[in-house]
Structure 1
């Protein structure tokens, strides 16, 4: 079965996935935001299936700007929920793939720190997971 996603659907997926990594980088600014972003982005680039093809596309349609973590979260967390909702309706197996891909990226990003993630990172990971599961 072939799934066709609109350009807006693809933008939502990319915004959600890369936004999750960006949120962690912003929340972990006391650590190494560049390492967080790098490790998370590498994990996203390793995705397979339809999700992998969407995330690998070279586009400029992702808007991850905000003056604060709160502004970024206001944009990204709903995108995570929307991405899961649209994939559950159009390609249920890809919904699981997307969720797993984002969580692997979050885990990869969080492991850039020695030991356990900071309380700030742990809290943001919980919010990202909650947004994924809200759909």
Structure 2
């Protein structure tokens, strides 16, 4: 892990919950297509991450609270986790904040392509909300 990042177990959990939760949100929003394929492709992309962020995302600890009853409840957890993750990383290492953001967006792109067609309106809107959370200041 990079010597410039000092992350607590809670910080690592937040980073993983944001990234894997974003893929879960996309799978839930794309339920008319293939949610399992979306989740699989997005998770594979996250597991392929490198550098300090790759090490954090490869962590084997259980990500709590991703099994929510509704997309709204999941979004209430995930979108703030994405924003908190980027803010935390920007304070310690702006390059790793960019790496995290890019990693999540690549995973979402891989997930969105799982349908092999244009993302539907619900999927496109969820992508917009996730990107907005990643870019919040």
Structure-2-length-normalised TM-score: 0.95
* Counterpart residue number, 1:89: 91
Post-superposition, which runs of at least 4 consecutive aligned residues in structure 1 deviate over 4 A?
Answer: none
- The answer as to 2:126 corresponding to 1:124 is yes
Rounded to whole Å, the distance in 2 between the matches of 1:84 and 1:78 is 10
Figure out how many residues of one structure are paired with residues of the other and give that number: 135
Structure-1-length-normalised TM-score: 0.97
Q: Give 1:115 deviation, angstroms.
A: 2.1
**CA deviation vs aligned residue, 1:73-124 (integer Å, no higher than 9, x gap):** 0000000000000000011111000000000000000001132111110000
* 1:53-132 matches, cutoff 5 A: 53-132=55-134
Paired residue secondary structure (1:115): coil
Unpaired runs of 5+ residues, structure 1, are: none
Q: Give 1:45 deviation, angstroms.
A: 0.4
Unpaired runs of 5+ residues, structure 2, are: none
Alpha-carbon RMSD across the aligned residues, in angstroms, is: 1.0
* Counterpart residue number, 1:133: 135
